[in-house]
Amino acid sequence: MTGIDLVSVDQDFAWRPWAVAYFLVIGAAVAAALAAQALRVLRGAAAARPALRVAAVLALSAPLPLLADLHQPARFLNFYLGAAPSSVMWWGAWLLPAFVATTLLATLADATGRWAGAGRVLRLGMVGSGLGVLTYTAGETAIVAARPLWHNAGFPVVLTLTALASGAGAVLIAGVPDRAGARLLRMALAGSAGAGLVALGLWLLADPDMARLALADMPVVVLGHVAALGLALPALLALFGRGALSARFAGVAAVWGALAFRWALFTGAQAQSRVETATYTPPALADPATLQSLTGTAGMIALAAVLVAVLDLYLAPALRRGPQAGPRADKA
């Protein structure tokens, strides 16, 4: 021991619970988009459709929590008024709209059955920008040397693997009629959650300093929760469960695991004072800021689901009946 601190000042978290919601939703959106493309290649367009719709819903929802976490959201256009290539966040400001736009347009092309050539380009853009989004979200946090819990090799790996698991989980929750496609998704979920569990264990257990740091602001029960309920359970359910219900349970557990991991690491890292005299009080689950971000994000996902359903049920058939559409388009 060096001594004790006699003076303490309060400091606020710079990234609020909205940031946790954003990192959850955008990670799941990209993973769902990657799953859609993989299923399209392996099983065809029809099998990939549910995953693509989930990707569209989540992609449409992601900008809301991101903007809400800015303390000056009305100035978001400033991201585009100049170049800041040294900032990972600036790259993200371009990658995110590219991913959202290509995902929504690819969904539109798929729903209408038109623009086959453009659809391929759009899906390519969706996959490319989606991989960019995964890279930037992991890189944005991992480069911050002042946050040792983020600035290491383990955190970005677990962040990415939990994103993949939550995306596969979200698609399974929505339901995948194609049985072979559902099986592939369960395997993807089991693989990413299992790998996430191994990576989490290696990251924290292999480095005593990291384990000490993690445990300083994240009780064992929180980390155990992430590992057991958020990673091991969905992996086991996806591997050994049978039927749509167990697949949905696995999906819910995977989404919960990704949320719990982000919550633990975003609040845990920000609660650690770098000058050892500042007090950061982590938001409680019942805090207005937490409830606002949860209800706001859930509301946005519900609204996006309605919009995508309207696209599927009304807009796409109307477009299919357009002047250029022949009888084949009607059947598509």
Residues at the contact surface with another protein, assessed by CB under 8 A: 1-12, 14-15, 69-73, 75-76, 78-79, 81-82, 84, 86-90, 92-93, 140, 143-147, 270, 273-279, 281
Size of the chain, expressed as the number of residues it contains:
332
Nearest residue (CB) to another protein, 101 versus 144: 144
Q: Say how far apart CA 103 and CA 94 lie, in whole Å.
A: 14
Tokens at 222, concatenated: 């929180």
CB of 304 to another protein, least distance (A): 23
Longest dimension (CA), the chain: 81
CB of 324 to another protein, least distance (A): 42
CB of 284 to another protein, least distance (A): 9
CB of 143 to another protein, least distance (A): 8
Nearest residue (CB) to another protein, 115 versus 280: 280
CB of 96 to another protein, least distance (A): 12
Stretch (H or E) spanning 20: helix 17-43
Tokens at 309, concatenated: 């359903």
Q: Are residues 31 and 167 in contact, defined by beta-carbon separation less than 8 angstroms?
A: yes
Nearest residue (CB) to another protein, 146 versus 245: 146
Which residues are within 8 A (CB) of 223 and not within 5 positions of it... i.e. 6 or more apart?
200, 204, 214, 215, 264
Nearest residue (CB) to another protein, 90 versus 115: 90
63, burial (CB in 10 Å: exposed 0-12, middle 13-18, buried 19+): middle
CB of 67 to another protein, least distance (A): 10
Q: Are residues 42 and 82 in contact, defined by beta-carbon separation less than 8 angstroms?
A: no
Q: Are residues 58 and 32 in contact, defined by beta-carbon separation less than 8 angstroms?
A: yes
Tokens at 26, concatenated: 């955008």
Q: Are residues 166 and 186 in contact, defined by beta-carbon separation less than 8 angstroms?
A: no
Nearest residue (CB) to another protein, 116 versus 146: 146
Nearest residue (CB) to another protein, 102 versus 270: 270
CB of 13 to another protein, least distance (A): 8
With CA atoms as reference, report the closest residue to 157 among 21, 303, 29, 265.
Answer: 265
CB of 73 to another protein, least distance (A): 8
CB of 90 to another protein, least distance (A): 4
With CA atoms as reference, report the closest residue to 186 among 207, 208, 170, 169.
Answer: 169
Nearest residue (CB) to another protein, 88 versus 214: 88
Nearest residue (CB) to another protein, 17 versus 196: 17
Nearest residue (CB) to another protein, 62 versus 253: 62
> For residue 31, what are the CA distances in angstroms to 34, 133, 262?
5, 10, 16
State the DSSP code for 178.
-
Which residues are within 8 A (CB) of 313 and not within 5 positions of it... i.e. 6 or more apart?
none
Residue type at 232 in one-letter notation: A
